[in-house]
């Protein structure tokens, strides 16, 4: 049986995250693993904004990230799971892949979709699909209805 010491849970705080968090927590508890909670501030979202609103956009994204991370952290700590958190700027799939590699993550747990919407699930551009193709560790994909 595989053992997992470090589990990565990228989160964007979107609806449906609860199912993904539940699966990640079950894995972490069953393997006495550390849960890494990562929020990626998508640079493309604030770079696409007008120059005069970029600072407001980046601040809003960071605040959203803090809430998303805090929500998962509280749930994980209540479940007795050790948590490490990170907020990084970048392109989501590339940042998730880099984090997984740099932190010797054993498995990544993600939902089928996030803020980009259900219509992106089957497209090559979805973050989850790109992570699947770009990491050398297993990826547990949770179907979000």
What's the average pLDDT block by block, 10 residues per block, for the chain (145 residues)?
91 85 96 97 84 88 95 96 97 96 96 56 64 93 83
Q: Indicate the Cα dihedral angle 46, 89, 68, 53, nearest 10°.
A: -20
What per-residue confidence (pLDDT) applies to 14? 83
Residue 117's pLDDT is 43
Q: Is 106 domain-assigned?
A: yes
Domain of 128, CATH number, reads: 3.40.50.620
Q: How far is CA 30 from CA 19, 26, 37, 47, in A?
A: 17, 6, 17, 41
Rounded Cα distance between 145 and 131, Å, is 20
Domain limits at 87?
A: 6-142
Please report whether residue 98 resides in a domain. yes
Helices (H), 54-136: 54-78, 92-102, 127-134
Q: How many domains does the chain have?
A: 1
Residue 45 forms part of a structural domain? yes
Whole-number pLDDT of residue 85? 98
pLDDT of residue 32: 96
Q: Does some domain include residue 1?
A: no
With respect to residue 52, please indicate whether it lies within any of the assigned structural domains: yes
pLDDT of 1: 66
CA dist., res. 86 & res. 59, Å (int)? 16
């Amino acid at each position: 049986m595989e053992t997992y010491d470090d589990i990565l849970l990228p989160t964007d705080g979107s609806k449906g995250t609860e199912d993904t968090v539940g699966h990640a927590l079950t894995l972490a508890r069953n393997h006495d693993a550390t849960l890494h909670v990562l929020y990626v501030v998508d640079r493309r979202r604030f770079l696409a904004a007008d120059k005069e609103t970029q600072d407001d956009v980046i601040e809003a994204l960071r605040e959203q990230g803090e809430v998303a991370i805090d929500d998962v952290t509280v749930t994980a700590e209540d479940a007795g799971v050790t948590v490490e958190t990170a907020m990084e700027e970048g392109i989501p799939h590339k940042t998730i892949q880099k984090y997984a590699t740099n932190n010797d993550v054993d498995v990544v747990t993600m939902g089928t979709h996030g803020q980009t919407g259900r219509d992106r699930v089957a497209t090559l551009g979805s973050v989850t699909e790109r992570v699947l193709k770009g990491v050398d560790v297993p990826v547990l994909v949770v179907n979000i209805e």
